[in-house]
A and B are shown apart, each in its own frame.
Chain A
């Protein structure tokens, strides 16, 4: 699945969709494919503070656990409750129904440091599989 052009990306394979002062966060289709079947997503509660490129949670696949890093600084305003009972939404629709958090952004300046879809595509090519 191509990486949508309207999203920003991290080198840790998270994406963020910016809409005004709100960001929606998830992991990329590449990341879910690498992880395999997702069986548990551990997310922070509403109200939690996120910091740019710091760990905000964990994602567990059948085979392994991985850390989730926030693409933005801000405050969690909503978590995707559907992931509790159906974490495989991340596999099925990493850029859609498999979203993880909605965040109120508090540092718009840092968004420039994130990768565009094109830059993320290039990064994936350069990364050893």
Chain B
């Protein structure tokens, strides 16, 4: 959590956001751009062409050493020893009791060098957690948070634009969830075919000194700067989870549909394994479902969900979908009420909003010809 008494941090791209006239808001301890022109315009730019986000606030730590991958396997719910160099995977990091500490992305750079990307809001906590458990492993943590910039370039035209900047050889070699390293104007750049918008694209990491220049080069190439507002509507339409909203330390991976990132079959020990085995056996009392409003009105996080007059759960993320033109949300309800087509009511500040359970995700990008 962010402590209000602590001064807000700025990413190395802060001056770029100000120069572009962005509205700046406090977010996860940083002063971040919420929008430049308009949330919906930026959202559509990403869905239809290409946009970019400053995601330098997200924590980046390199883990090096002969035990680097064994250590990351111990921290993460997914079996990171399956990663070959140039591959990445999403996972949860859990407490002993199976509660989710954070959701993370791990990339294998070489057999003894890995990059773990954590949520901005959890970065100090996760850095401490990694360091606390590193003893006994031949592994070192190198903090790349402040020394690098991270820019997510997302949209159907993202790869086309990046061909011109980084060279098609690298860009076209990266299949989804793969990563690689190249140079741009003499600076090493890490690139991964990942993102948080539901669109194709890359996430780039470069030295903080070179971040503004790369940002401006992307601007010159026609990429639309996009803020936290659009980032949230894009990820919600794609039903991607947001830590602190859709999950927290009191939520386990099975409740929020993260079964696919929990590897139990390899028998390897990791933090939370015993609890997760028990939880999997016991089944979940609540399940994340996707809701679409059947009327005007906007459901938001924390709104209560009702079924037959009884409180049945809570909306964890909700808002307006620019693509669908109405309100959508995700929330935790008993499994029996999570079936597609189930009709429920969301209490929007005292007003009942009828909603229906719809398939996850709300939006899927069209397959390329």
Classify chain A: how many residues form its interface, as a range. 10 to 19
- A62-B233, A62-B320, A63-B34 given as contacts; is B298 within 8 A of A40 (CB)? yes
Q: For B40, what are the chain A residues with a Cβ–Cβ distance below 8 Å?
A: 37, 62, 88
Measured in the bound complex, the distance between the Cα atoms of B36 and A124 in whole Å is 21
Selected from A40, A58, A63, the residue in CB contact (under 8 A) with B229 is A63
A78 at interface by CB-CB < 8 Å: no
Measured CA separation A98–B111 after assembly (Å): 60
CA separation between A23 and B366, bound complex, in Å?
49
Q: Mark B17-56, 1 if CB is under 8 A from A, else 0.
A: 0000001000000000011001111010000000000000
Q: Provide the bound-state CA to CA distance between A36 and B41, in Å.
A: 11
B interface, by DSSP: helix, strand, loop or mixed?
Answer: mixed
A94 CB to nearest chain B CB (Å): 14
CB-defined contacts of B180 to chain A, threshold 8 Å: none
The 6 lowest CB-CB distance pairs between A and B, nearest first, are A62-B39, A39-B320, A37-B40, A60-B298, A37-B39, A63-B229
CA A84 to CA B320, docked complex, whole Å: 15
Measured CA separation A88–B38 after assembly (Å): 11
Query: Does A49 reach chain B (CB closer than 8 Å)?
Result: no
Residues of B within 8 A of A63 (CB): 34, 39, 229, 232, 319
Contact residues of B between 297 and 346, Cβ < 8 Å to A: 297-298, 300, 319-320, 322, 327
A84 touches B296 (CB 8 A): yes
Contacts of B185 in A (CB 8 A): none
Known: A62-B39, A62-B320. 5 other contacts (CB 8 A): A34-B23, A36-B23, A36-B39, A40-B296, A42-B351
Interface size classification for chain B: 20 to 34
A-B contact pairs, 9 of them (CB 8 A): A36-B34, A37-B39, A40-B296, A40-B297, A60-B320, A62-B39, A62-B229, A62-B319, A91-B38
B349 contacts the other chain (CB 8 A)? yes
Closest to B41 in A: A37
Q: Give the CA-CA distance A39 to B323 in the complex, in Å.
A: 12
List the A side residues contacting B300 at CB < 8 Å. 65
Asked if residues B297 and A42 are in contact (CB atoms below 8 Å), the reply is: yes
Chain A contacts for B232, CB-based, 8 A:
63
Choice from B34, B41, B298, B351 contacting A39 with Cβ under 8 Å: B298
Question: Closest approach, in angstroms, between the C-beta of A31 and any C-beta of chain B?
Answer: 13
Q: Of all chain A residues, which has the CB nearest B40?
A: A37
Q: Which residues of B contact A58 (CB under 8 A)?
A: 349
A2 shortest CB reach to chain B, Å:
19
Q: Complex formed: what's the CA distance from A65 to B351 in Å?
A: 14
- Residues on the A chain within 8 Å of B327, using CB: 40
